[in-house]
Structure 1
Amino acid sequence: MKIALAQLNPTIGDLKNNAEQILTTAHQVATQGVKLLLTPELSLCGYPPRDLLLNAHFITEMEQTLHQLATELPPDLHVLVGLATPNPNFTVMGGKPLFNSIALLTAGKVQNIFHKRLLPTYDVFDENRYFTPGNEANYFTIDDIKIGLTVCEDLWNDEEFWGKRSYLVNPIAELAAHNIDLSINLSASPYCMGKQQLRAAMLKHAAIKYDRAVLYVNQVGANDDLIFDGCSLGFDRSGELICRGASFDRDLIIVEFDEIKQDLKPGKIQPQPDCTDAEIWQALVLGVRDYISKCGFQKVILGLSGGIDSALVAAIAAAAIGADKVLGVLMPSTYSSSHSVTDAIAVAANLGINTETIPIGDLMQGFDGTLDSLFTGTEFGLAEENIQSRIRGTLLMSISNKFGHLLLSTGNKSEMAVGYCTLYGDMNGGLAVIADVPKMRVFSICKWLNREREIIPHNIIIKPPSAELKPGQVDQDSLPPYEILDAILNAIVCEHQSPAQIIGRGYDPQIVDKITKLVKRAEFKRRQAPPGLKITDRAFGTGWRMPIAAK
């Protein structure tokens, strides 16, 4: 029996076009003798639909779209489609009004509905807000082949693999007890660094432990801050990789299940990114491209300072939508060094993007004069420094408003963590491209990007980072060296370690105390920041829920 894994890129809420993607793929595979088509979790509405699920009319339209899709599919093809379905007993039995479901479509009808068993409520996930968990093992039969079905999180609760259990039930173990011949998992699993390797190890473990071949299909594309990497997988009963879909791109994988051997035959194995920097680069390019297209923008602008962060964001934008659709704006002040301008022009030339130069010296003098009577007798400080950033932010937003371009914010994760950024200034924008990329990783990606030819000018990489808001300023005037800062931030943000634990690892107590306070103090800034693309397992986005007014 031939089975197709469709790595689809749905748009949240776009029921018509998402159904069209499924329909087009179905007709494509039907001509190749495929019997079963797998699509990702919530493939009809896209993942995560969030509070769209609270709109009753949206659920009704989803059901209508599903039934219409069933009538248009090739009659001999079995298709699994993800959607949200009503829970008719929720007012009587408790729970939530919906199920996270998979519909089995064939012969023009909805033949069966299966429900997700395990509902994650950590990090970016909040499925208990909307869904009631299913309580039955999900399986069906095609041509005497008994197929066990799980949905995303259902696969992530093997005590032997994880060393713990997060839920009372293990759907994979239950399916094995029902004597299934093949295990399939339909997912919408967001990307973070290292997750592709983790998923592969988990799937291999499941195949070997239960002596069942496993097929896993994942959503691809980006929705707001979340990036989905695809990389669908198949393992035979012995745990050997037999197929792999493309990373960060749509793909269609067709494999064959041998009914006699009760196993999968070898299929196509797509290459993966060859290093972490390549993986992150592909993720960010996809994240920018989809955010721009799904939000209806055509072009982007950004402030091009001559620094490494804006250079990397410009390179990502050019790769995502084309250099001709990217505008870099240079806004030098009296404190800008000559190399800031020349470096910015050089990176623009390397990328082939357009630039505009708007000096802000006169505007700074205007602000100084206006505030002079109020500020008389005070020392030059953050207020005056931040005026420069806010002038630049206002100019960029004006251009964005005038021409309808998306403004990309260029701050990195290290800066966002400690508040080394200006509200209503350099934080302005509709998308924060590298807000989850630590500063040291920014340097690493830029060096990787230059592996074949110079894209990021060498001087940008080697010069000391500086906001250039006062004479001779460098970041290390206010912050420890970035290799130390990033290590401490990782311990605080990702590892949830206390100051005492971090100091116990050998870090200077005064530095640890300072950084800890800065992270807490900057919470109000992060709450007002544009959405940032998530590439680590702990980002300042959907999954970050820290209080502002707290001690």
Structure 2
Amino acid sequence: MQDLTLVMAQLDPLVGDIPGNAERAIETVREARIEHKADIVVLPELFLTGYPPEDLLLRASMEARLEAARQRMADKVARDVMVIVGYPGRRDGGYYNLAGVLYNGDWLGEYAKQVLPNYQVFDERRYFTPGNRPLVIEHRGARLGVLICEDLWEGRPVHQAREAGADILVTLNASPYHQNKPAERLALFAERAREVQRPLVYVNQIGGQDELVFDGGSLVVDAQGELCVRAPHWQVGLMPVGFTHADGHWVPQAGECEPLAEAEDSLYCALVTGLRDYVNKSGFKGVVLGLSGGIDSALSLAIAVDALGPDRVQAVMMPYHYTADISQEDAAEQARMLGVNYEVMPIVSMVEACNETLAESFAGTPQDTTEENLQSRCRGVLLMAISNKKGLMVLTTGNKSEMAVGYATLYGDMVGGYNALKDVYKTWVYRLAKWRNTQDPVIPERVISRPPSAELAANQQDSDSLPHYDTLDAILERYIEDDMSAEAIIAAGFSEEEVYRVVRLVDRSEYKRRQAPVGVRVTSRGFGRDRRYPIVNGWQPGE
């Protein structure tokens, strides 16, 4: 019995680019054969369509395109290498999430995913029929039990594969990232391997896709659940693992093991990856954002530069009467530190022109948030004009805490095509800014240390209208992430008045969030496809 080399192909497919993804697969197998002498190459779940393809799966031409791609792979993939790759397909009246096995020009078998996730960001039951049988393929003396993603989490198909004679479990995945997810995965996979006393191979995709981001971290654990190999997170690449046959068992050999990154590092990489892929895959030249001198826009600018480079980022300071001198100084200093294109466009004349035009209609009414919102909307007009003229996507900068309670202006600071901080609570904004400055200083220290303010009125601070962010975020996490009722949050030690106030703000701001730009999901419950609440409803806080 000879040794076996399996290569985990941690790749970034483009959703819908079936011919392009097929060519990526062909080139990947060629590289794996030459560089690593691969016997087996495993690619991620639904790789040929990219994940998630959503309603592209309903297009009439989907099956023909997939068949052409599979034929192209059969004709061009390097010989003497077994390839396991994910794609959808119609078979015997059903539509399945499949893993196909290709060897020497022949498709030897297909495995249909049995456990279809239908929670949080997943809705695979909308499209697919569940499979009901295992697939075990023998190659060079090793019997490979093929699985797909959620099959591991539910567990039953793992035992089924072992009972069908699998020596090694091989699972194709498109597992999106959220905070703490890498550690959760490793603990689960180790448990599954121990349950069936078989080594387990986990191959994950990488890259951003709309609001989802995939972190890679492909890995192998042995039959005792011990980590043997782990590919780097946030990097495309090939990771080989050797298997030897001893005492009737296939044993993975220890190899490179990327350590788990600290929480801030992992989260920051997720934000950078999500923004970079959204901009690049959408074909934008770069981004433009309003740089206010505050913490949110400062962190957004750092992320944008790390994602795209300074030459593709434009920052615009748009001061008004209430914009502090230190805000203007800090914005200019950060733009200098990062080397981005920076402009100052005062909005005084725009706001005054709007007020003059509205004066007759507003006669006899006191000033209120209407006038504050006009400032924000004038800024939005300028940013959108720059976007139209220069082909730059507007990067909006609000954080999850603000979006949760509606502390944002529709068609003002919410204007944009993407929001890197959409799923980042304010307390984490500060943590990330401090962490980023430990790598190399890119945010003026005064931006981090001064009290946050929207600067839409004299001497304004966020704490004038919101609880302090430590308290606000603790309430929001319980209400949004954990679905706790107001009474349960109060029972946990929070002020009844503050809890009910925050909960009401969250509930009544759904209409704003529906109109907000897309942003990468990095918590276990993000706004968007992950949390679907009706805009109009009679639900009362506390229920």
Answer whether TM exceeds 0.5 for this pair.
yes
Which of 525, 529, 551 lines up with 2:516 in the alignment?
A: 529
Matching of residues 5-154 of structure 1 within 5 Å: 5-31=8-34, 32-90=36-94, 98-154=95-151
Report deviation, 1:452.
4.4
| Residue of structure 1 equivalent to 2:227 | 241
Alignment partner for residue 254 of structure 1, among 210, 223, 240?
240
Please report how far the alpha carbon of residue 544 of structure 1 lies from its aligned counterpart in structure 2 after TM superposition: 1.5
* Structure 1 counterpart of 2:188: 202
Q: How does 1:446-457 map to 2 (within 5 A)?
A: 446-457=433-444
Post-superposition shift, 1:426? 0.5
Is 2:142–2:250's contact at 8 Å kept on the other side of the alignment?
no
- Preserved contact between residue 247 and residue 272 of structure 1 (Cα < 8 Å): no
| Residue 179 (str. 1) matches residue 165 (str. 2) | yes
1:274 CA displacement: 3.1
Cα deviation code 1:490-529 (max 9, x no counterpart): 0100000000000001111111011000001100000011
Query: 3-state SS of the aligned residue for 2:39?
Result: strand
Is residue 253–residue 268 contact of structure 1 (8 Å, CA) maintained in 2?
Answer: no
Partner residue in 2 for 1:231: 217
Asked if structure 2 preserves the Cα contact closer than 8 Å seen for 1:47 and 1:188, the reply is yes
Q: How big is each residue's C-alpha offset from its partner over 1:239-289, in whole Å with a ceiling of 9 and x where there is no partner?
A: 221100110110211111112342333343243453111001111111111
State the SS of the aligned residue for 1:86. Answer: strand
Q: Once the two structures are superposed, what CA deviation does each residue of 1:203-226 show, in whole Å capped at 9, x if it has no partner?
A: 111112211011100000111110
After superposition, the C-alpha distances for 1:137-174 in whole angstroms (9 at most, x for unaligned) are: 1211112311111100000014xxxxxxxxxxx10111
Residue 475 of structure 1 is matched in structure 2 by: 462
What does residue range 422-433 of structure 1 map to in structure 2 within 5 Å?
422-433=409-420
Q: Equivalences for 1:400-479 in 2 at 5 Å? A: 400-479=387-466
Is the 8 Å Cα contact of residues 235 and 264 (structure 1) preserved in structure 2? no
Q: Which runs of 5+ in 2 are unaligned?
A: 539-543
How far the C-alpha of 1:28 sits from its partner, in A, is 1.3
Q: Secondary structure at the match of 1:198?
A: helix
Partner letter of residue 66 of structure 1? R
Cα RMSD for the two superposed structures: 1.1
Q: Structure 2 length as normaliser, TM-score?
A: 0.97
Distance 1:539 1:486 in 2: 14
- Specify the alignment match of 1:189 in structure 2: 175
Count of residue correspondences: 533
DSSP 3-state at the match of 1:113:
strand
Matched residue, 1:165:
none
CA distance in 2 between partners of 1:452 and 1:442 (Å): 16
> In the alignment, what sits opposite 1:519?
506
In the aligned structure 2, how far is the partner of 1:271 from the partner of 1:135?
Answer: 35
Instruction: Please state how far the C-alpha of 1:110 moved relative to its aligned partner.
Output: 1.5
What is the alpha-carbon distance in structure 2 between the residues aligned to residue 143 and residue 369 of structure 1?
81
Distance 1:415 1:268 in 2: 44
What is the rounded CA distance, in whole Å, between the counterparts of 1:140 and 1:429 in structure 2?
A: 49
Is 1:364 paired with 2:364? no
Secondary structure of 1:397's counterpart equals: helix
Q: Which runs of 4+ in 1 moved over 3 A?
A: none
Q: State the SS of the aligned residue for 1:156.
A: helix
Identity of aligned residues (%): 41
Letter in 2 for 1:238: Q
| Amino acid paired to 1:473 | Q
Mapped contact 1:87–1:132 kept (Cα < 8 A): no
The runs of 5 or more residues in structure 1 that have no matched partner are 91-97, 159-169
In the superposition, the TM-score normalised over structure 1's length comes to 0.95
1:168-218 deviation digits (Å, cap 9, x = unpaired): xx1011112223111111100000000000100111111122110111000
- Name the aligned partner's letter for residue 179 of structure 2: M
